[in-house]
Structures are given as structure tokens and as C-alpha cells.
Amino acid sequence: MIKLHDLEFEPYISEEEINVAIDKVAQKLNEDYLDANPIFLGVLNGSFMFASEVIKRFSGDCEVSFVKLGSYEGTQTTGTVKTLLGLNQSLKGRKVILLEDIVDTGNTLEEINKILLKEEVANYEVATLFYKPEAYKKEFNIKYRGMEIPNKFIVGYGLDYDGLGRNLTQVYKLK
């Protein structure tokens, strides 16, 4: 059991299970993009650990960039996604792999889709460590999924509760 701010969380997904999920995503990305020199686009802050591990496991040439969007306050999504840090390079004509820590409602993906369409990318795919099918409300294809989980609030492995918990090597759920 851990306490972050005012809430208690209990162990939910082990570091070993997370590594297996990352291996699965990375293996598929290696099969699909080995000779493509893709740009991995991490969504900060949550995806930093997942992005690092996927990129380390990628065997081909690649480039790395990040964007920062925000939509959460406490344990609830605000429903509004705002861009906090934008792209610093052109993605025109490039193959992009969007690295997300978690896909729940899909609101962040909708905002990133607008950015990528404006950038005129050749194509992009979404790779996420965690996917919540019960919460997902959009039509974007989530091609690479580490693991599907129920619609519970989780922290750890990059995910936070009001800034705390990102450094945890396993995932905890709200008690």
C-alpha cells in the first residue's frame, strides 16, 4: 500500500508484467518499422518511461521527439486537452509512432491527430502501454497495445496523481 497526497493506492500491475507488455509492443514495432526510420513521438509527461523502454528495444534507425498535452486534474479528466509543449521539428512526409502511457477517453489522441494532420505526416500509428477499452470514446485505431485494463485510476510507471507516483516501477490502483 502507498499513499500519494490524500489517497491510498494498492499494488496492481507488477514491473515484470509491464516489461512483458513493453517487449510485446517493441517486437511488433521492430517487425513493422525496422527499415522505416520512424519518428517516435512521446506524449509527456506520462509516456517518458514507456517511450524510453520502447526506443531502447527498437533495433532500426529512428528519431525521437516529444509533445506535452494536459487534460487531468487530480483523478478526473477535465475533458479539455491543451497543448503545453509543441513540436520542435517538421514531421511532413514522415512515419510517426505516437507513444502514449495510457489511452482512456481518447481526447488526447483527438488533439494529437489534429496536430499530425496539420504536420502532413505520411502516416502514424499509436502505441500505448495501457489501454482502457471501457473508457475509449473515439474511432482512432490503437494498433500497438501493451495491455488492456479496466477503467480504474492508476499511478506509477510514468502515470501520476497530481504530480506524484511517476517514478514508481510498478502500477498501483486507487484503493
Looking at the annotation, which residues are catalytic?
Answer: 104
Distance CA 2, CA 78 (A): 25
Of the candidates 159, 57, 52, the residue with the CA atom closest to the CA atom of residue 102: 159
- In a 13 Å sphere around the CA of 1, the CA atoms on its Cβ side amount to 4
Residue 149 three-state SS: coil
Distance CA 157, CA 169 (A): 5
Query: In terms of DSSP H, where are the helices of the chain?
Result: 15-33, 48-57, 107-119
Of the candidates 116, 147, 113, the residue with the CA atom closest to the CA atom of residue 132: 147
